[in-house]
Amino acid sequence: MGLNPQIANWQGRRVWLVGASTGIGLACAQALRAAGAQVVVSARKPQAVLDWAAQDLGVQWRALDVCDPAQVQATAHALLAEGPLDMVVYAAGYYQAQRATAMDLENMLQHDKVNYQGALHVLDAVLPGMLAQRSGHISLLSSVAGWRGLPNGLAYGPTKAALIHLAETLYLDLQDAGIGVSVVNPGFVDTPLTAQNKFTMPALISPEEAAREMLKGWGKGQFDIHFPKRFTLWLKLLRVLPYCWYFPLVRRFTGL
């Protein structure tokens, strides 16, 4: 059962994707554009986006550092001056493996600035407009790493858990205001971030497959969009296990 209004037709819908110069964000922007949406792509570096935007008037590029609140406000103000936003997708992400035996506070705080605080800056900039028009959709790109604590996830996992909690609360607060909310929890996706991993990643999928799953989830009105199911359904089971079972199982399967 869908918890949000189903988005079956993207034609003419205006979507702002924040943190979409590579990986899942860029693939999602391209899939949305192929489906007929007008897309605005923001990130610190344009990378693969500028050539694409130069060839397609339905694609805009706006440079943006999500850690700069004034820049977020200015960019959102400029976009809203051109017309309302039908969807905002927060896909900005920062990841480096870290364990508590080698804790790096500065690195942990950088994860928080990009993965969580950046989302708050964007929400602060776009929510008033969505509330005024009583429509729109906010989607936060989290991760299955936020479902439960995992080795090497000391810096990354808590920020993704915070996004999940944030999305749940946003849904409860905004449903009656006509605003849809979803949280996207991918497994392993072949992106520049996961390329850092030095272990075999089970059920690894492409960014393009991830983008198809996201559009499918929005089309069904889902709140919790997770994929690939052959991997995430097992993690859903682990999520409900008591700690006395969960911790030994994680140690056994990760060797950490």
Catalytic residues: 156
Q: For residues 229 and 239, give the distance between their C-alpha atoms in angstroms, rounded to a whole number.
A: 15
∠ CA 236-145-202, nearest 5°, is 75
Spatial neighbors of 71 by CB under 8 A, at least 6 apart, are: 64, 65
* Pairing status of strand 180-186 against strand 224-227: parallel
The CA-atom distances, in angstroms, between 86 and each of 101, 116, 209 are 44, 22, 23
Residue 114, Cα to own-chain centre: how many angstroms?
A: 12
